[in-house]
Amino acid sequence: MKLKPLSLVLATLAVLGLLWAPFLIVGAPREPTMGFVQKIFYFHVPCAWVCFLSAFVCAFGAIAYLFRDAEWGERLAASSAELTVVFGLCTLVTGPLWARKAWGHWWEWDVRLTLTLLLWMIFIAYLFARRYGGPGGKKLAAGLAIFGAANVPLIYLSVSIWRSIHPKTSVVPTLDPGMRPAFWVSFLTFTILYFVLLEARVALERARASLDALYLEAEDRGLFDGDPV
């Protein structure tokens, strides 16, 4: 498969970012209360951001597919749903590692944790529906993505009634100046990585669709049963 110039540039940037970020993270000032565990922050926050961005892209693709019958929308939604699950898993693994040290236990029914977990579950259900949903599975999965996206503010509201102990999003603008380069390089690297993976995954789906179309055409012309073409 030939890479497009933009994809190649983005892929190079993602690789450079992934090589550079660990040095910046190690060199960033040590947080006095949390110590070394705070360094998870540089990995956890970008993963969570990409997970939510990916869910939004999936819902956008799903709407295009469901109401415009756009095949590109379905490919975009399916690829993005897989990435939501991958980055959601990274968020859900790194979060408890930090929480064990900060709060003394692995899990808390806090609004952000609950929201991420439910969003992750909805997108796993998306993959199930698309894979095992039968002939209408793709449409069913698209409907699920739209309902899942609509559910996000409601889950947030229903859980935020309780006191939230998760650090606020205001922690990012008030970050120690020494920590900023490590954070923003990680943040940009993960965002670029998401688009690189998305492009690769969409290209794979496109290739699969072309192959299916060729296969059907070959079957119609009788290539598989020895009939003359």
Partner 1 sequence: MSYASWVMRLVWKDIVVELRRKELVYASIFFAGVVLLVFAFSFLGGERPTLDVAAGVLWVTVALTGTLGIGRAFEREREGDTWRALLLSPLPRTALYVGKLVSLCLLMSLVVATAAFGVGLLFGAPLADHLGGIALLLVLGVVGFSAIASLFAASLGRSRSRDLLLPLIVYPLVVPVLIAGARGTAGLLTGEDPALPAFWMRFLFVFDLIFVTLGLWTFEPLAASEG
Q: Which residues of this protein are in contact with partner 1, per CB under 8 A?
A: 66-67, 118, 121-122, 125, 128-129, 132-137, 139-140, 143-144, 146-148, 150-151, 154-155, 157-159, 161
The answer to whether 55 and 148 are in contact (CB under 8 A) is: yes
Question: Could you tell me the smallest distance in angstroms from the CB atom of residue 109 to partner 1?
Answer: 10
User: SS3 helix, strand, coil % of the chain, rounded to 5?
Assistant: 80, 0, 20
What span, in angstroms and rounded, lies between the C-alpha atoms of 188 and 155? 28
Name which of 114 and 189 has its Cβ closer to partner 1. Answer: 114
Could you tell me the CA-to-CA distances from 43 to 82, 91, 164 in Å, in that order?
Answer: 19, 8, 21
Name which of 37 and 146 has its Cβ closer to partner 1. Answer: 146
Question: Could you tell me the smallest distance in angstroms from the CB atom of residue 100 to partner 1?
Answer: 25
* Sign of the torsion formed by the C-alpha atoms of 110, 115, 116 and 121: positive
DSSP 35: B
What span, in angstroms and rounded, lies between the C-alpha atoms of 148 and 142? 10
Name which of 124 and 202 has its Cβ closer to partner 1. Answer: 124
Question: Could you tell me the smallest distance in angstroms from the CB atom of residue 205 to partner 1?
Answer: 19
Nearest one of 120, 125, 152, 118 to 141, comparing CA atoms: 125
Name which of 118 and 203 has its Cβ closer to partner 1. Answer: 118
Name which of 134 and 177 has its Cβ closer to partner 1. Answer: 134
Question: Could you tell me the smallest distance in angstroms from the CB atom of residue 149 to partner 1?
Answer: 10
Question: Could you tell me the smallest distance in angstroms from the CB atom of residue 97 to partner 1?
Answer: 24
